[in-house]
Every structure is written in structure tokens, then in C-alpha cells.
Structure 1
Amino acid sequence: MTDPDERGRDLPGGAGPMRVAVLGPGAVGGLLGALLAAAGHTVICLAAERTARHVSRHGLRVGSDRFGELAVHVGGAVVLDEPVDACLVTVKAVHLGAALDRLAPERLGGAVLVPLLNGVEHVRLLRDRFPATPTVAASVRVSAARTAPGVVHHRGHLATVDLAAEPRADGVAAALAGAGLDVRRRPEAELLWDKLCFLAPLALLTTSEDAPLGRVRQRRAADLRSVVEEVAAVARAEGVSSDGSAVLDFLGQLPEDFRSSMQLDAAAGVATELDAIGGAVLRAAGRHGVDVPVTAGLVAELGGRPV
């Protein structure tokens, strides 16, 4: 494991040492937390008591095609009880409300909240909940799975974080880049809708088929194109330039066996992010009068399935 005495010394990328809370050390949170800790930052994972106790004792472990094998020391806590410079919010959207109880506004102080959730509506929720704490929109593109408490498998080499182009996010951007992630700075609405434009078709159709993306491309090509075009139209109505053909090209480059987290959750019989992903598209489409029949049909189909 990384020696805690080495933290903060000669950090990669020129970033100074930061204290970072990770709210939800699952697949994304565990990967980012481990990379930040390995790069010399102090990481505190906020989770349920059992998970918090486990990571505090055993740290985080990552097996990655890109970053290799990592085993790092991190802190673990049920609630944030010490000051931090930033808090990465990496729980799933369905668990966000309960997870936020782990963050007392007075403990956040001057920290920056960086939500890395799927969807677009959580940013306003966080700003309403923590008006004195700056929330910087972000999104992440990665294929990772939590295989056990504190253990993450990162598949492939995709590991990109998009951060809103705001000066208050400069420190977080430098820390993430120094930890080895690909970091891009983009306008807020653009980065949120750009991800939703590929995530909604991917999630809805792999879940509908209960199959990986390769089978969707073979059996549901017309639906895939339709949903991509519908979500791109909604994004344009939201003021974001969106090119459906570029989204289809990106989806065409993903591996045949690529599966969405929504499909995996549905197969496991747990609550999915259908509302945060598909529901958000439908609500925005309704506000702007954009017709999205294929997307609406998929949301209705999946919403009618028992969990």
C-alpha cells in the first residue's frame, strides 16, 4: 500500500496535496479515490458503517487494464467529521437523497462539491441543499465495477472526467489529472448533456434487451439510432450543440460485450437509475415540446417491470 507518510510529496501534475472526501466508494468513487490516494492526496471514504470500517482497515484495491494493480490506505467514516478541500459525490442517483445526510453543511466549509452522477438534474438538487458550498458540475466516462467492499475492477483504458470550466474547480482538475485521469474542462450544460446523449440510448436499450451493446447494435440498430437522435434533439433544445452521428460513432467504438450499469442493476434486481436517465430526458423533452416516442416507449416498458 501507499505509505501515508509519502502523501503530499512531489505530487504528479504539479497539484498540491488535497483532502478529498468520496461520498460513495463504489465503482467510480473507489477508482477515483484509489487513484487520488496513490497520487499522494488524503482520501476519506463516506459510506455505511460496515463499508466505512472495511476501507478504513483494509484500504482500497483496484485492478485496472490502464492503471495496473493499486492498493492504498484511505480513511473511512459514516459522516463527514473533518474539513476537506473537495467532496466527490459518486453514489448512484437512486441513493443520493439518503447519502447526502452524511454531509453536514457546516463540515463542508470551503469545500467544492463535485457530483459525478448520471443524469442532469442532480446539480440543481445539490445547489439547493448546500447553497453555501460551490457545486461544480462534472461527469465521468469509465467502465468499472465494485466487486467487493473497497475492491474495484476497471476494464479497458477509458477513464475521462469532464469538469465545468470554472476557476474554483482548478484544484480538483489538477489533482485528477495528476492522478492519471484524462481531464477535460467544458461548459456545464455541454458536459452533462453530452454524456446523457450516449448514456440514455446505451442504458435504455441494453436494459431492454438484457444484453450487451454488441447485441443491441445487431438487433436494435433502428431503435438505437432513434433514441440517439431523440436525445440529441432534446439537448439542442436545452441549448447544447449535439451531433447524433458523433454519438453513434462513439457507441460503435465500444466493445461488443460492453454493458451499462442500469442493465447490471436490473439483472441484479436492485433499483435502477431509470428516472435519472430516461426520466430526465422525458421531462426536458416535455418542457421544450420535443417529440421522443421511442425513448418514451422504452422508459414506459422498463418502468413497468418489477424490481
Structure 2
Amino acid sequence: MGLKFLVVGAGAVGGYFGGRLFEAGEDVTFLVRPKRRQQLQKTGLVLQSVKGDANLAPPLIEKGETDTFDVILLSTKAYQLENVASDLTPFMHEETVLIPLLNGMEHLETLKRFFKKEAILGGLCFIESTLTPEGYIQHTSSGHRLTFGELDGSQTDRVQNIADAFANTNADVQSSEQILKDMWRKYLFITTLSGITTLFNSPVGPIRASTEGLAFTRLLIQEITTVMQHTDAPIADDFAEKAWGQFMKLSAETKASMQKDIEKGLPVEADHIQGYLLKIAKDYDLDTPYLHTTYTNLKVYEQTRGKDDTR
């Protein structure tokens, strides 16, 4: 008997990977808000992707409805997590597992306040996608990778069963025996990318073309790495160089999802991404001028957004 998946939300990340899973014939249901449900019932779940388009009609449920699921894919924004987490218990049975695909690391602490730690897997994804005004999921880069695994690194039957379910999807999905290391490495990269593209209000290309932009990026990576090395996280010696190499290989048009959110006038995850690292830096009395500059820029945006009701 196959696994029953619940995807929380049908946005640019959950909608894409959940859609690919449903497209492959797996049992997938989306937990959505009433407005999104009405939109999806009208248009279908539309994927516009360089890897192949799809128009799907998966089952949809809302808060208050009843059913239980084996695996919950959680791809909300960090500022939505506490409200969403309290809604999930009715959809869980004793063996349900959660795979969070949020950026950063602080959300693991939040989830452990709501659920037993055994229910939580580690997870991350790399995908450049966005939600269009029509509610379509627009995937614009060749990458669409999702990685998950046990937080303690063990290779369990439940991880293998989930990997088997994803095996035939039109996406690059894999399990990992070092998921915490993978998550911290992505955290370094996404903190850098979101920080510089929002600070300079620019895609990657012009930043790389600027001597000053390159220097700022390099120093920001080094600064974030130093902060992470003061935790008990599995930070490898090559983290900084790999993040730099990844940044240099990005297409010139690449923007962080946080920058796209700002362009739409949406909330941002400044406290969850940059702010969490600044708390660690403060605990160890570390000087972090570059990280603090990117964070300050985002906090000013939050103030501007809060005073502008037209956004």
C-alpha cells in the first residue's frame, strides 16, 4: 500500500514538488486556504516549467476537514509556521512524518515545540520558482532538487519508502545520510544570496560584474561561515569555498526568492534567516558588519511595507 502525502500549501515550492509527485501517480492531497482552493478548482494546479508543463487536478482540503496522512511536506514561509503547525495535528497519525522544506534552521526548533522529535525529518530544496498573479507555478531554472533524511543520519525504512514514492517523479529527489550538514550548507548559501540580491536590488549578474559587489559577497560568506563555526553544527572546512563556487556558477538572471517577495510587496524571512545568525553572533560577541547590513536593509523594508497599505 502506497504512502499518503499531504502538501501544506500549493505555492512555488510545495505546489511544484507536490504536483510532480501527484503527476507521477502518487496519493497526494494539498492543504490550502479557501481563496487558493477556489483558484485551483477553477484553473487546476498549473506548472509552467522548463522541465515540462503540467495541468493537474489533485485533491484539496482545508483546515477543519478530516483525514490522516503518512507524510507531510511543509513548505510554508517561516513567519507562517507557528500558525500552520497548530493546524496539522488532526491530519497526523502515530507514525506520520514531517519533511520541512523551509530555508534556514530555526524552524526545526519551532517544530519540536509542536511535535515529537521522532516525527521530524530534515529537508531542503533548490528550485527557482514563483507564483504568478494567475496562481500558476512558474519554474524557470534547470534545477529542481529536493533532499531529505533522518536528522540523526540513519537510513530507515520510512526514508526509503518516501524515496521510492518519489523515484518516478519529474524532479531530482534524493535521500541523504548527512541532512543536517546539507541544510547548514544551504543555509550559508541562501543567507548570502538573499542578503546580496535584496541589498543591491539586483540579480546576480550585475553584482558579480562589480568589483565591490564581488568583494562584499566574499566577505559576507566568510562572516556567515565564522558565525556557523561557533555552533555545534556539522560545518565542514570547505563550506565557504563551495558557497563561493555555487554563487559564481549561478545564471546572471538569478534572484533569491526573498527578492521576488520584496518585488511583490510580501513579508520576508529576515528574522528567520539573517536574524537567527545574528543572535548566534551576539552570543559569541562576533563582529558581523556585512551580515548586519543585509539584515538592516530587510528590516527597513519591513517598516516601509508596514506603512504602505497599497502593497
AA matched with 2:39: H
Instruction: Choose which of 46, 63, 73 in structure 2 pairs with 1:88.
Output: 73
Verify: 1:69 aligned to 2:53, yes or no: yes
AA matched with 2:57: H
What SS is found at the alignment partner of 1:74? coil
Q: CA deviation at 1:133?
A: 6.2
> What's the % identity of the aligned pairs?
24
Instruction: Choose which of 116, 128, 146 in structure 1 pairs with 2:113.
Output: 128
Cα deviation code 1:163-186 (max 9, x no counterpart): 124423332233234313322404
Number of equivalent positions: 290
Matches within 5 A, 1:175-186: 175-182=165-172, 183-186=174-177
Instruction: Choose which of 50, 67, 81 in structure 1 pairs with 2:35.
Output: 50
Instruction: Choose which of 239, 242, 255 in structure 2 pairs with 1:259.
Output: 255
Native 8 Å contact 2:159 2:175 kept in 1: no
- Structure 2: runs of 5+ lacking an equivalent: 306-311
Partners in 2 of 1:216 and 1:145 — Cα distance?
22
Verify: 1:224 aligned to 2:228, yes or no: no
Matches within 5 A, 1:60-209: 60-66=45-51, 68-79=52-63, 81-103=66-88, 105-109=89-93, 110-131=95-116, 134-148=119-133, 151-164=136-149, 165-166=153-154, 167=156, 168-182=158-172, 183-209=174-200
- Normalization by structure 2: what TM-score? 0.87
Partners in 2 of 1:132 and 1:199 — Cα distance?
25
- Normalization by structure 1: what TM-score? 0.88
Q: CA deviation at 1:101?
A: 3.7
Q: CA deviation at 1:226?
A: 0.9
AA matched with 2:260: L
Native 8 Å contact 2:86 2:114 kept in 1: no
Question: 1:148/1:84 Cα in 2 relative to 1: closer, same or farther (>3 Å)?
Answer: farther
AA matched with 1:158: G
Partners in 2 of 1:57 and 1:172 — Cα distance?
30
Question: 1:26/1:271 Cα in 2 relative to 1: closer, same or farther (>3 Å)?
Answer: same
Q: CA deviation at 1:106?
A: 4.1
Partners in 2 of 1:274 and 1:115 — Cα distance?
18
Native 8 Å contact 2:44 2:55 kept in 1: yes
Partners in 2 of 1:199 and 1:122 — Cα distance?
15
What SS is found at the alignment partner of 2:263? helix
The answer to which of 259-268 and 23-32 deviates more is 259-268
The answer to which of 165-174 and 249-258 deviates more is 165-174
Question: 1:177/1:265 Cα in 2 relative to 1: closer, same or farther (>3 Å)?
Answer: same
Partners in 1 of 2:245 and 2:197 — Cα distance?
17
Instruction: Choose which of 22, 32, 36 in structure 1 pairs with 2:7.
Output: 22
Cα deviation code 1:223-270 (max 9, x no counterpart): 100111111222333332142121111111111010111111112222
Verify: 1:234 aligned to 2:227, yes or no: yes
Partners in 2 of 1:36 and 1:150 — Cα distance?
19
Q: CA deviation at 1:31?
A: 0.4
Instruction: Choose which of 270, 281, 285 in structure 1 pairs with 2:281.
Output: 285
Question: 4+ runs of 1 displaced by more than 4 Å?
Answer: none
Question: 1:173/1:291 Cα in 2 relative to 1: closer, same or farther (>3 Å)?
Answer: farther
What SS is found at the alignment partner of 1:127? helix
What SS is found at the alignment partner of 1:282? helix
Aligned to 1:31: 16
Native 8 Å contact 2:82 2:110 kept in 1: no
AA matched with 1:301: N
Q: CA deviation at 1:148?
A: 4.4
